[in-house]
Amino acid sequence: MLLVVLAVTQLRVFDAVVREDSVLEWGEVFAYGAVVVISARVAQRTHGLVRVAYGLLAVAAVGAIGEEISWGQRLLHLTTPESLAAANHQHELNLHNLTAAESATRLVLLAAALYGATLPLVRRPGPFVPPRALVPAFAVVVAYFSVRFAFLSTPTHAQAKFSEWPEFLFAAAVALTALSTLRGSEASAPSPADERVTGRDPDHADPSPSLTAP
């Protein structure tokens, strides 16, 4: 809501917040950085499908960071090749701003946000279900990109740059979902004290049934 007010009344302040390499973009980068670290930790502590999914999520987050900072182009003062600049909406060294990829990128974000906004309402939180408290954050992403697809095929500058806010919310919500999964895996793991009491390594437990006196 604050960004909407700024866009209407204080366009310079709005531009300062949503422009490249500013508050929201770096907030998104740091959020995806947290996704990388936390997801890698989840993958390390879990097994099976959860390990694979969070390993892939960590890789995807690395890609998202690269895309957000145009793979270091502005930091390293790299020049965009002419062939790529001609096809890139912002003339930058990234893929998500390619004319052919922009709609697909937004559609992926919309689908992922719709998943995050609806599934917690019908399923208990878990490795593949975000906490219910994050539903509003995902819902903002759904609302923005739904309006963008339905009514803003040619958005104004302010309408287009407003996307920095839902994109940041999405990254933060994914990071918090991964953190919730990590805490769940830590809570379910036996403590060192439990291991000493049982005298067994939980990862190498004896599969044979124990024999007890009747």
Predicted pLDDT of residue 41: 97
Structure tokens at 129: 């279900």
Q: How many domains does the chain have?
A: 1
> Does 202 map to a domain?
no
pTM, to two decimals: 0.81
Residue 157: count other Cβ atoms within 10 Å of its Cβ. 12
Cα–Cα distances (Å) from 127 to 49, 97, 134, 138, in that order, read 10, 31, 14, 17
Residue-wise pLDDT tens digits, 176-188:
999 999 999 887 7
Residue-wise pLDDT tens digits, 41-58:
999 999 999 999 999 999
CA atoms of 107 and 103, how far apart (whole Å): 6
> Does 162 map to a domain?
yes
Predicted pLDDT of residue 178: 97
> Does 155 map to a domain?
yes
CA atoms of 38 and 57, how far apart (whole Å): 10
Q: Which domain holds residue 67?
A: 25-73+88-185
Residue-wise pLDDT tens digits, 120-178:
999 999 999 999 999 999 999 999 999 998 998 888 888 888 889 999 999 999 999 99
CA atoms of 172 and 137, how far apart (whole Å): 9
Predicted pLDDT of residue 144: 94
CA 16 from chain centre, in angstroms, equals: 23
> Does 8 map to a domain?
no
> Does 198 map to a domain?
no
> Does 191 map to a domain?
no
